[in-house]
Structure 1
Amino acid sequence: MMENILKILLAGLIFLSSCKRDDYYVDGGVANPVFNGTVLEYLDSHPQLDTIGQLVRLAGLEDNFTADELTFFSPSDVNIKMLIGRVNYQGTDPGWMGNRANQQLYNLGLDTIQTLADVDSAIWRKYLERYMFHGKHTLSDYPQIDFSVLNTFGGQNYYAYNNTVSNIGVVFHDAVTDEGKPTESRLKYMGYRQLYISYIPNVSIPENWIDTPVASSDIQPSNGVVHVLDFTKRGFGFDPQEVIDDIIQSKR
């Protein structure tokens, strides 16, 4: 009798645990995804994103972020500080190493960047638009992607605001127990799900993707959806040196 009761309790706990998997997650924690304000107001209200809000205004995209229905894969303020060279953070992206705009401008004898407005607004606009997509799209709207078997689970290509192309998909991680132990068990695709965006510089070279994981997904302001990217994995614009080359060219 006691054994049956224990089995029922265990089944109930498993059921409750499985239900929670469908809740909204941010960095492993449950959070309310709804924000009472526009996409731009959401950026302004978060210290790690308010510099991105400033760039939106400098780029002349304020109307898009307040009136359009859009999905924005947001970089963070750290990405901008790294681009200019005001913080010394080394992430896993090779672009972190040596890609400091001010250092390169100084070496070339060109004016360095003292404020964000010192960069041509067209440059900010060009690279912000790579992260902007028409319509509201949460994680559940995107197809599965498995980078090891793209022919089977290949995500899907989407056009950004400036008609650049990115592949967007959801990685279904494995559910693993006792990892690294003799008793390890693994359930394929049964673990947590994580959104990825992969910028494709040249669609004729499909393997040349610049992929970036999302750290916090499905944030829902009144006029769109925000997915915040993992700032440690990729620099601003997906290719920081390309951004810096444009800045250098604009100052010659």
Structure 2
Amino acid sequence: MRKAKIIGYASLTMLLFAIVSCKKDAYYKDGGLAQAKFDGSIMDYLDSKPREFDSIAKIIRLAGLEEDFKTKEFTFFAPRDENIKKMIGQAKSNVPGNQSSVNWLLYDLGRDTIKTLADVDSTIWRKYLLRYMFNNKRKLMDYPQIDFDLLNVYKGQNYTSFANTVSNIGVVYNDAINDSDKNNITRLKYMGYRQLYISYIPDISRPNDWRSCPVASSDIQPDNGVVHVIDYTKAQFGFNQSDILLDILESKR
């Protein structure tokens, strides 16, 4: 009888361990529907998703970075086409927010507007794409925790991009909330899903001046790197759209 009890306890322990392990793995799911493994290069992956990355793939080629995206090993925080389209915008628009697009400003200044992506100097595309590229393969679990309300404790980590710019990258550990009983809502600190954030730092001498963007889909793994897709609804191309606007305006003088 005693032996049977021991076996029963051991089985129960293994079951509980398995459940906890499954829950631990679940923390790393950020709600994205991306397939983790991709048979092909980072460039191949972007080409396979034209709805999201057609413009991104085009400017990579215009910037002379296609071979890097096919062969070099790195981590790419991928912006989406929507951010490119919003930045370029229309020559004349009554849509709120579009008045700050590059085409609206060029039109207002009486200069030639951008009709194709090739109308932008290729060195400008290169400069801003390199901000999203980082050495080595790093998945969500390879980055430290960040809590934007407790940066003195959970501060993420600074990484230097291929453009020699600095971004802080970290994982937000969200709280787990049980609201099935509206009269007794429980919250477990840091026990919910985990989401990757990248925060571009324009001036390292002002380390708290960040341009933070959440990642919508993380840990996509082509053959030569890792892709994390940035949430386009909370991002600007180049992290700071005014930078690239000024560069394009200067190039159109």
- The answer on 1:130 being equivalent to 2:134 is no
Report the equivalent of 2:79. Answer: 75
- Measured after TM superposition, the shift of residue 52 of structure 1 is 0.6
Give the drift of 1:99: 2.5
Describe the SS at the equivalent of 2:232: coil
Q: Do the aligned partners of 2:30 and 2:195 also contact (CA within 8 Å) in 1?
A: no
Write the distance in 2 (CA, Å) between the matches of 1:187 and 1:232. 28
Partner AA of 2:119 in structure 1: D
Match 1:44 to one of 40, 43, 47: 47
Q: How much is the aligned-residue C-alpha RMSD, in angstroms?
A: 2.7
Is the contact made by 1:24 and 1:31 (CA closer than 8 Å) also made in structure 2?
Answer: no
Q: Which residue number corresponds to residue 149 of structure 1? A: 150
Mapping for residues 1-252 of structure 1, pairs under 5 Å? 16=19, 19=22, 22=25, 28=31, 32-46=35-49, 47-85=51-89, 98-178=99-179, 181-252=182-253
Structure 2 SS opposite 1:113: coil
Which segment drifts farther, 96-105 or 142-151?
96-105
Please, what TM-score do these two structures have when normalized by structure 2?
0.87
Larger Rg: 1 or 2?
2
Check conservation: 1:169, 1:195, Cα contact below 8 A. Answer: yes
Amino acid at match of 1:65: F
* Structure 1 residue 209: Cα displacement: 0.4
> CA distance change for structure 1 residues 239 and 178 in 2, over 3 Å: closer, same or farther?
same
Share of identical aligned residues, percent?
58
* Counterpart position of 1:3: none
- What are structure 2's unaligned runs of at least 5 residues? 1-10
Question: Are the structure 2 counterparts of residues 97 and 151 from structure 1 closer, same or farther at C-alpha, using a change threshold of 3 Å?
Answer: farther
The 10-residue stretch of structure 1 (121-130 or 175-184) with the greater mean CA deviation from structure 2: 175-184
**Which consecutive segments of 4 or more residues in structure 1 shift more than 6 A?**
11-14
Q: Secondary structure at the match of 1:48?
A: helix
Q: CA deviation at 1:98?
A: 3.4
Task: Give the aligned length.
Answer: 239
- Corresponding letter in the other structure for 1:117: A
Shift of 1:18: 5.6
Give the structure 2 partner of residue 4 of structure 1: none
Question: Higher helix fraction: Structure 1 or Structure 2?
Answer: 2
Residue 130 of structure 1 aligns with an amino acid whose one-letter code is R
CA deviations over 1:194-249 (Å, ceiling 9, x no partner): 00000000011011000000000000000000000000001100111211111000
Q: 1:191/1:14 Cα in 2 relative to 1: closer, same or farther (>3 Å)?
A: farther
Instruction: Point out where structure 1 has 5 or more consecutive residues left out of the alignment.
Output: 1-7
Once the two structures are TM-superposed, the CA of residue 118 in structure 1 deviates from its matched residue by 0.1
- What SS does structure 1 have at the residue aligned with 2:196? strand
Quick check: 2:26–2:193 contact (8 Å CA) kept in 1? no
